[in-house]
Amino acid sequence: MSRYEDRLNDDKRRQQADRLTFHTLEELVAMCGKLHNNWLYTNVDQWNQDPLHTPVYYFNEDWQEDQLADEQAVENDRGDIIPNDLADAGLRSWFEMATFEDVVEVLHDAGEPVILPMIVIALKYYHEYDAFLDYEDVEARLQLHDVLTQVADEQTSE
């Protein structure tokens, strides 16, 4: 099969939803490869504090434009179009779905088990540096985090 045919088949199998809410990171990861490439939105400050449980929203760009035209959405200070019912949620564009999928795929390419904290580390790194971390780098950072947490816990218990 040619690359063109692969891309066409990939496009056909993806869903074109107008608006989806992912209540957990696990729900969003489960949708990798199933949605068209639109922006993901979240409250980044909240996500940085609790990345596993902060809602992430997926909005179809055409739907957003229609919502704005019908006065069912507003633009935030960054020019992001946010539905009226989420206008006060502090949402901003976070990742394109394709970029989110790429960050997760880089980890899976190692052929090793990938856990959600590893995905969090890779996403935070990409968001800050616009660069990917490979599996080994993420695993090392996760191990360092675990050691630092253990040390902090021991110091607190003394």
Report the alpha-carbon distance of residue 45 to residue 133 in Å, rounded.
22
pLDDT of residue 145: 76
Q: Check: CB of residue 48 under 8 Å from CB of residue 124.
A: yes
Q: Check: CB of residue 136 under 8 Å from CB of residue 109.
A: no
Segments of the chain with pLDDT less than 50: none
Q: How far is Cα of residue 83 from the mean position of the Cα atoms in its chain?
A: 19
pLDDT of residue 1: 64
- Per DSSP, 110 falls in state T
pLDDT of residue 14: 67
The predicted-structure confidence for 88-101, as pLDDT tens digits, reads as follows: 999 999 999 999 99
* Among 54, 78, 75, 55, residue whose Cα is nearest residue 64: 75
Where in the chain are the domains? 3-157
pLDDT of residue 153: 73
